[in-house]
Structure 1
């Protein structure tokens, strides 16, 4: 499946590095622009500094975008408004320019973050579709033994639901404590629907994804999510059930 775009930035060094760069880049840029402040208009300097805010926000880290916006405003004041090399502003036009720089930077940062989230969602949908198509293709071609299809589907369900483990069990679910996922993506436990978006997948019991052939339940996948809180969307949960149905066709 396609790799989630949010995975690689989680390295421990990544976010601190981005945030440090978000603070330093506007400082260095404003310092360089100050050497040519007589020939570079203030409006041009503002646009150059906003570029760093966009770059920081495009990483998907909101705090980095905010830090870049604040840094840009502060160093614009320090290097490019009179009196120079002081955090004070004497001219009303410079005050307006500084305020606009910060406000515009924050607005652009939010727009960049919105685009980043949209890109993430598109990548996830593509990954889910690839998984379903791969499983369906394996079943249709009939080249893989049922046990292999089960293993492939189990891995994909585990990825989609952000679970720790997933294994297949023959027959219907017989333990009332196990939460069961239906075709509408609704998770039910002890007769009550679980608000997955709010509370996440149950961490103290198994989650079952039934494998149905018509009205008959021929088996189910048992998942655990004990090491972390997982909040799969309803779309993800429905994809997991659709993947499980491929096993019924292979057996």
Structure 2
């Protein structure tokens, strides 16, 4: 699987941003205390961790400590440090950078989780409101189809009425994916090739299935997103089941 562009950029920033900052600080190394220079590098580490992830933040902390030693302490352009105070500052820079970067990445993760949870909840509530107010189950199906594309970051999605044909990979209600009856390791292997079905079942009755096409090489969505997708499909199935009860079987 390919690394997301944001993570790739964060890793690159983790290596290059402390280096660039240390070069900018070179003219100040004789007029500004080494402690203050180290604090400026910590700010860069925090910025990288907040933008990227824990790995990028840790990489930035290591990079900052190395370039602080190389450019800002005597002897210059050497990884050898003569002054004990500079050694202590360098070690503290590394430790503080690692700790703060992890805290920044954790805060960013929690913020993203909160936003994601709110978005998923709105998807479910919006579909529920439509199912209650709409007189056409097809409207609900189309709404769910669009929501599935967004929540699972799909290339495309279509809905099939009628009987089951073939045995494509299947997204189960518990969020797992099965291929030929076996549980597929989605986290390690990514999406299986071809279309993936998500069956719409209501009260044990099969109403149809959503045929989903993932983006090639994309990172699989979280378990939470997959569970939301299953709930959305169940809402479409309930709307179709209500229609079939009131109007008879769909031709």
**TM bucket normalised to smaller:** 0.7 to 0.9
Secondary structure class of the residue paired with 1:58: helix
Question: How many equivalent pairs are there?
Answer: 238
Distance 1:208-1:87 versus aligned 2 partners, 3 A rule: closer
Q: Contact 1:209–1:221 at 8 Å: present in 2 too?
A: yes
Q: Give the aligned partner of residue 147 of structure 1.
A: 138
Q: CA deviation at 1:239?
A: 1.0
1:25 and 2:25 matched: no
Using the size of structure 1 for normalisation, the TM-score is: 0.78
Rounded to whole Å, the distance in 1 between the matches of 2:68 and 2:90 is 7
1:160-194 alpha-carbon deviations (Å, 9 max, x no partner): 2232211111134332x212233222323322222
**2:31 alignment counterpart:** 36
Distance 1:167 1:58, change over 3 A: same
From the superposition, tell whether residues 153 and 116 of structure 1 become closer, same or farther in structure 2 (CA, over 3 Å): same
Judge which range, 68-77 or 189-198, deviates more: 68-77
- Structure 1 regions of 5+ residues with no counterpart? 1-5
Alpha-carbon distance between aligned partners in 1 of 2:59 and 2:130, rounded to the nearest angstrom: 49
Residue 168 (structure 2) pairs with residue 195 (structure 1): no
Q: Matched residue of 2:95: which SS? A: helix
Show the 5 A alignment for 1:44-193: 44-61=36-53, 64-66=56-58, 68-77=60-69, 80-83=72-75, 87-142=79-134, 145-175=136-166, 177-193=167-183
Match in the other structure for 1:247? 236
Alpha-carbon contact 1:179-1:187 (below 8 Å) kept = yes
Instruction: Report the CA distance shift for 1:17/1:69 in structure 2 as closer, same or farther (over 3 A).
Output: closer
Q: Which runs of 5 or more residues in structure 2 are unaligned? A: 241-251
Query: 1:23–1:68: 8 Å Cα contact kept in structure 2?
Result: no
Quickly say closer, same or farther: Cα 1:33–1:226, change in 2 above 3 A.
closer
SS for the counterpart of 2:45 is: helix
Q: Deviations over 1:138-164 (max 9, x none)?
A: 111226x43332222112112222322
* Contact 1:19-1:63 at 8 Å conserved across structures: no
2:245 counterpart residue number? none
CA distance in 1, matches of 2:131, 2:206: 18
TM-score (norm 2): 0.78
Confirm or deny that 1:235 pairs with 2:231.
no
How far apart are 1:80 and its partner, in Å? 4.6
- Distance (Å, rounded) in 2 between the aligned partners of 1:238 and 1:173: 22
CA distance change for structure 1 residues 148 and 31 in 2, over 3 Å: closer, same or farther? same
